Structure formats: structure tokens, C-alpha cells
Amino acid sequence: MNPSPVAPSPTSDHPAAPGTSPRRRAPREQLDRAEVTVRYARAVARLAALQRPSGAVAGEVGWNIMLVAQYVILCRVVGHAIPTDRAARIERAIERAARPDGGWGMHPQSQSYLFHTLLAYVALRLLGRAPDDPRVVAARRWILGHGGVTRVPTWGRVWLALLGLYPWDHVQPIAPELWLQPAASPAHPRRFYCHLRLIYLGLSYVYGSRLTADPCARLDAIKRELYPGGYDAAPFAAHRHEVASTDLYEPTGVTLRALLDGVRRVEGRVPAALRRRALARAMDHIRFEFESTDYVCLSPVNGMLFCLALFAEDPYHPDLPRALAGIEYWVWEDDDAGMRIAGARSDIWDTSFAVQALCEGPRVDHTAQLVTRMCDWLARAQLRADIPGGAEHYRAPARGGWGFADERHPWPVSDCTAEAIEALLAADRLRLGPDIAPDLAAAVGFILARQNDDGGFGSYEARRGSPLLRRFNPAEIYGSCMIEESYTECTASCVRGLVAARAELGPSAPRRLRRAIDRAVRRGARRLLAAQERSGAWAGFWGIHYTYGTFFAVSALRAAGLPATHAALLRARDWLLEHQRVDGGWGESHEGLLHGRPAPLPPGDPSLVVQTAWAALTLLELRAGANARVDQAIERAIGLLAARQRADGSWPREPATGVFFNTAVLDYDLYRQVFPTWALARFSARVTRSPG
């Protein structure tokens, strides 16, 4: 039972709808500030318990069963036996994710998707589940009741085609010849967002080689089950451009459809020598990605596709065992929840936020040792050199950056670098910094190279492709994935990181560097101001959604020198106040991502501690003058966080608040520990000071 001596003070309701009256406010209760410090100390102790031997703190980034199902298919294609105990854990994970209607979704709060349900169905059958198993029967009923296999998105067709369960000739063409274009071509894959670029690199190889598993009785049985009217009679051609309504997020436009049809018509006339040359070029890029990442790859999505490409080139390829072992980097596995493959690791990201949180709070037991060990690891995780051969494989310079994952993953990111800078400098001010100093000038150079022409910042790279490429998204179930964008969160983190670095470098820094930082900060701040919506909020891209974007934007504008009384910040403050819920917290649904507007949780659902922490941190940033309304909102939010905390210092699991490609909601497990801890820290440090 959760202890809750600090009760949230329900003094504000949901914003009243037009033409209605707000509900009567309950009497306000005094927040016990000493108890908040106790709760903060418990939260710090919990973080200390989670710290790894390396010094990092990191949580699982949960997604869905897509990756583990693809792992089963990969193993079947290449002949890699899955041990019995692991197979049982895979089944356990798939079982746990099943929805009541018999299908599987993009995430726990989503509807069922044909794509995920088909992958889960095939994986369960390959693992030995019988066709009359209740879970299998329910999934097959759902599949056939929602249009059948021929309406699965293109990526699903590829994974089925690898097993001979879909004809390659009716998969949307993914021609490897794209990699033979001159680098200056506006449609060269080097211009795509790096995740999409590498996914399509792998897809183009398996498509171009027409890799197909050896047939067997089980695959023949699965084919009969999925095509009850007969495989040869299935309407593949009629549904070539059709995707199930359950799955479709961004339909292929008329121009893209015409291009795909044109490629399909000429593909049969592509000379075999040209196809071999294209596959060789693609394989050169694949080998580079394996070798430059120690075989863990940018993500498990492209990593598994690259394993299939190696097998297609040579079933006895000497690098295949090492490539398969690289997938283990992404695996989370236990007997309770089963085997999961995370879409990302967040060690550097989580640790950077944890350090900043602890540096703001009062010094309690564990703080000094916890922060010092985190920073020692964080400083070692900086990339001190560029990736040899990176330029010819379209890798942006990496020197000075930090990645999202850990020191083993050499794909640095702009906002991860900025947050790591802030964390290390904050710790250094408290004399808790690392033994090894970060290369601050190199980090600044890395961040500056990610700024786009509009003043905003991309993530892994600056934008390379024309915005026109957005019209040619082939992914169907994902959005905003064609090119690097100017993300609110990346822009905000980079502005803050550059401001912190400028202060640390001081007047002794080269004049040219100081001027470049000043210009980048001004342009980034202008971009953030221009991105603010009329409501006063900022839309997030990597989290749900307006609460997240506003949290980042406000902190950056304050760091850039805007006073809390600036008109834009007052509008942000008012937006947050208007959206505080009756229980004192905040709560947005993932549905807002799908429609591009705020989507509050249903009134009966409790607020989310992570989003409440973001809002509380933002309002604490905006305290200016005597404003009882703001202070009351903050106290109610902190009261909710304190009341929800469990005896061991943790907070309970709740709906996910991370996101990727608009629809891929991600559950950052450590968010529910780090951000509430940070809110308690900031409240403890600032609430008794005179605001300003």
C-alpha cells in the first residue's frame, strides 16, 4: 500500500467547456514541505539502487512485439536455433501484449494493427503453437476479419515474403539501384533521416536479392491458414496500394504510387549486372555499419535486416554469427515479462537528466557518490574521434558528441550531447564532476553542425533533404520519418547546452567560436518563438506531447535570456494552468499525436506522474513575482507526485509518454523515476526562495 501523508490539493478543475460552469473547487490543503524533502530523499535512494556498475542509470525503452516477432522470423530464415527457454520467454512476451480482441497493437493503449497481429501470429506458429491454440485462433479470426493478409503494410509484406508467405513481385518495389545515384541527386538515400535510410538499405538488399526461406511443412500450413481461399487466388495485385485502415497513418500519395508502378514495370528489364552492382554497393554500406558499431547497428530494426542481407549474400557468411550476437545489445529478458527487444537504449539520455535533477536538489544521502559515478561514466561516453571512413558512407562527423545509448553505440545525437554538457557542468559547479574532463569545444562544434537553415536543430544530423521528400513517405504506418526536422526538443536542448558551454568557456574562448555560439543561440530561440502555437504551448515530437514540448521550449528560452514575464512565456504558463486537472496533475493522450492537437486523458483517468513532473518543472521555471495561482498549481502538482510515490521511492508504472515517428509510442521506464525526482528537487531548492 502506497504511503501518502502528503495529499494533492484538488483546488482546480479541468478547463470548463464553452457554455458550462467549472466545478466548485475543494478546499486547499497546506503542502508539508518537510515531507517533500523526505520523499525526495527516498527518490534519490531509489536511483542509487538502480545505478549500474558502470555508473550509468538506464531503463528499458518498451515498445511492442514487432521486433521480437521479427527476430523469430530472422532465426527461421537463417537457420539460427532459438533455445527452448528463450522461445518460452518470447511466447510469454507476445502473450502479455495481446489485446482482448485477439490482435496486437502499436503500443498498449493503441488499437490492434494488422501488421503487428500478423507478425505475432506467424511468430507463435513458428515457435510451435498449434493452429487450434486459442490465442492463434483468436488472432487468425482478427486477421481475416480485418481485410486479410493482402492489406498488410509494405514492411509486413517484406517479412512475410521472406518466409514465402507473400509474393515478392507484389511487394512495393524497394530498388537497391537507388544507392547507385550520384550523391548530388535530390533523391539519393543519403538525404533521408538516418533511421529510415538504414532501414531501407536493409530492405533494398533483401528485396533486390529476393531472399526466401526454404519451404517446410509448417510454412505450408501457415500459408493455408492465412489464405483460406487459396494463396494462388489471393488478390495481391488488386490491393497493391491498399493498406488496412487499422494501420494506415500516412497514405502514399498519387505521385509516389505512380513512381512505384513505374519502377515495377521496368524492374524486370533491369540488367542482372546492374542489380549485382547495386547489391554490392548496398552491402558495402551494410558492412560499414556493422564494423563501425561493433555489430550493434543504429537500431535492432536495421540490424536484423542487415543480418538477413549477410545471409542472402552468403548463407555461411563469416560475419553472420557476430551480427546475430549484436542483436543481444537490444534485448531485455526475464521469466516474468519474457524476451523483449527494445527499439532504443537510453543510458546517456537517462543519466544526463538524472544528474541534472540531483544537482538541483538538496544534498541528501547517496547524492555525492551517485552523481560522481554517473559523471565519471558520462564523460567516458563522449566520442573523442570521428568514425574512420564515415564520410564515404554518409555519416556526419561524430567527434565531440554523445549518443542516446551508451559508450558502445557511436551514433551521437544533438540533444543527448547538449544534455550531457549541462549535466557535467552542473556537477562540476558542485565539485562532483568527473575525473576526465569532457572535450567541451568539440561538443560545441558537434552541436553547431546540427543546426538547420531555419535555426532549429535536427537530431543525428542537420537536414540534408528537401522538405518535398516528406511527400514521398513509403512507410505507411509511420509519419515524419523522411528527413531530419527542426524538433522543438532538440532545438531547446541545444540552445540550453550552448548557453551552458558559453558560460563555461568564458571570454578566453576563441572569438570565432563565441560568435558562432551567440548566433546559434539567437537563431534557435527565434525558431522556438516562431514554433509556439496560438494556445501558448509547443508541440513535442519525441514525447506526449504539448506538455513535453512546452517543458523543453520554456527552459531554453529562459536560458537564452527571456524573462519569465515575456509574453510568450506568460502564454505558456497560462496554457499549463488551464490544463491542470482536478487531481492536481496533467495528462495527455497519445491520440493528440495522430491529430496534431492536444488530447486530454478521459476525465476519469488519473493524471500521469511524468507529465505532471514536466508541467511542475516548467511552472517552477516561470515563477516570477507574487503569483498565488502559479504557486498553488505547483504545490498541487508536487502534492500529487508525493502522494503517488511508493514506499521504496519509486513511482508506479503508467501509460507511456515517449514517441517516435508520430505513432510509435515508447515507454521510457526510467522517466517515471527521473522526472518526478527532478520536480521534487527543484521544488525543494526553489520554493522558499523569493521568485524571480
Name the pLDDT band for 583 (thresholds 50, 70, 90): very high
Question: Is the confidence at residue 690, as pLDDT, over 80?
Answer: no
Higher pLDDT, 508 or 8: 508
Q: Which of 88-102, 299-313, 624-638, 643-657 has the lowest mean pLDDT?
A: 624-638
SS3 575: helix
How buried is 541 (Cβ within 10 angstroms: 0-12 exposed, 13-18 middle, 19+ buried)?
buried
Q: What is the mean pLDDT of residues 69-91?
A: 98
SS3 71: helix
Residues with catalytic function? 415
Name the pLDDT band for 662 (thresholds 50, 70, 90): confident
Residue for grid cell 554497393: 281
Longest dimension (CA), the chain: 79
Give the pLDDT confidence of 27-75 residue by residue, as tens digits.
345 678 889 999 999 999 999 999 999 999 999 999 999 999 999 999 9
Q: Which of 19-23, 336-340, 558-562 has the lowest mean pLDDT?
A: 19-23
Give the pLDDT confidence of 211-228 residue by residue, as tens digits.
999 999 999 999 999 999
Q: What is the mean pLDDT of residues 123-129?
A: 98
Name the pLDDT band for 324 (thresholds 50, 70, 90): very high
Percent share of the chain, pLDDT over 70: 95
Name the pLDDT band for 687 (thresholds 50, 70, 90): confident
Secondary structure, 3-state, 262-327: HHHHHHCCCCHHHHHHHHHHHHHHHHHHHHHCCCCCCCHHHHHHHHHHHHHHCCCCCCHHHHHHHH
Mean pLDDT of the chain: 93
Report d(CA 429, CA 656) in Å as an integer: 34
Question: Is the confidence at residue 161, as pLDDT, over 50?
Answer: yes
Name the pLDDT band for 597 (thresholds 50, 70, 90): confident
Name the pLDDT band for 626 (thresholds 50, 70, 90): low
Give the pLDDT confidence of 529-566 residue by residue, as tens digits.
999 999 999 999 999 999 999 999 999 999 999 999 99
Q: What is the mean pLDDT of residues 194-209?
A: 98
Q: Note whether 421 and 493 are within 8 A (CB).
A: no
Name the pLDDT band for 23 (thresholds 50, 70, 90): very low
What is the per-residue pLDDT for 16?
35
Pairing of strands 658-660, 664-668: antiparallel
Question: Is the confidence at residue 21, as pLDDT, over 50?
Answer: no
Q: What is the mean pLDDT of residues 286-303?
A: 97
Name the pLDDT band for 3 (thresholds 50, 70, 90): very low
Residue 90 cell numbers, joined: 518470447
Can you give the pTM of this predicted structure? 0.93
Q: Which long-range contacts (CB under 8 A, 24 or more apart) does 78-83 make?
A: 78/307, 78/308, 78/311, 78/315, 78/320, 78/324, 79/315, 80/324, 82/127
Q: Which of 2-16, 165-179, 674-688 has the lowest mean pLDDT?
A: 2-16
Partners of 658 in beta bridges: 543, 666
Full set of structural domains in the chain with CATH: 33-61+344-686 (1.50.10.20), 64-237+252-341 (1.50.10.20)
What is the per-residue pLDDT for 32?
84
